[in-house]
């Protein structure tokens, strides 16, 4: 299903395209805790998600990515792998139709990079979601 095709006069508004993008630096909001960062994509407007509210979609991804114990922590308190999982959960919580990943493993050490590649492959198979992954990593 095309999102934009001028010949057929198709132009789905950006907010309705359900495309998720995972930034190279994860782009987590430093003033929001893990729970709020994940929930951010579920709210519209200028208000941040409440600090203690846990919508069911957020609870699912907290559990799926083993982030429950970190839910109240802020990005500055997280490791690179934890930040990546939070950013990925935030991208997936809105149930996108496609996931775009820009150098998602660049900030990780070799062992964590291997682990996250494996987890991402399993996630793609489980969710059956198309992913485009940009990487300059020769591995």
How does pLDDT run across 98-114, given as a tens digit for each residue?
Answer: 999 998 877 777 887 88
pLDDT tier for residue 70 given thresholds of 50, 70 and 90? very high
- pLDDT (average), residues 73-98: 92
> Would the pLDDT of 43 be above 90?
no
> Would the pLDDT of 88 be above 70?
yes
- pLDDT (average), residues 26-53: 82
CA distance 56 to 52: 13
pLDDT tier for residue 45 given thresholds of 50, 70 and 90? low
Residues 43, 49: contact at Cβ < 8 Å? yes
Report the share of the chain in percent with pLDDT over 70.
Answer: 95
Helical (H) or strand (E) element with 4: strand 4-5
* Residue 28: predicted pLDDT: 95
Residues 112, 139: contact at Cβ < 8 Å? no
Q: Count Cβ atoms below 10 Å from residue 65 Cβ, excluding itself.
A: 20
Continuous H helices in 27-134:
34-39, 56-64, 80-92, 110-127
Q: Which domains does the chain have, with CATH numbers?
A: 4-134 (3.40.50.300)
What's this model's pTM, rounded to 2 decimal places? 0.82
Least confidently predicted of 9-23, 37-51, 110-124 = 37-51
């Amino acid at each position: 299903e095309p999102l934009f095709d001028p010949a057929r006069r198709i132009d789905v508004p950006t907010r309705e395209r359900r495309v998720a993008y995972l930034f190279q630096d994860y782009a987590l909001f430093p003033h929001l805790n893990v729970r709020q960062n994940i929930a951010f994509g579920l709210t519209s407007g200028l208000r941040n998600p409440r600090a203690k509210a846990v919508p069911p979609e957020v609870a699912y991804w907290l559990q799926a990515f083993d982030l429950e114990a970190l839910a109240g922590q802020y990005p500055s308190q997280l490791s690179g792998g934890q930040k990546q999982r939070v950013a990925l959960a935030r991208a997936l919580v809105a149930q996108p139709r496609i996931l775009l990943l820009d150098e998602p493993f660049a900030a990780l050490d070799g062992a964590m990079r291997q682990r996250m590649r494996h987890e991402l492959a399993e996630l793609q198979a489980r969710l059956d979601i198309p992913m485009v992954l940009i990487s300059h990593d020769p591995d």
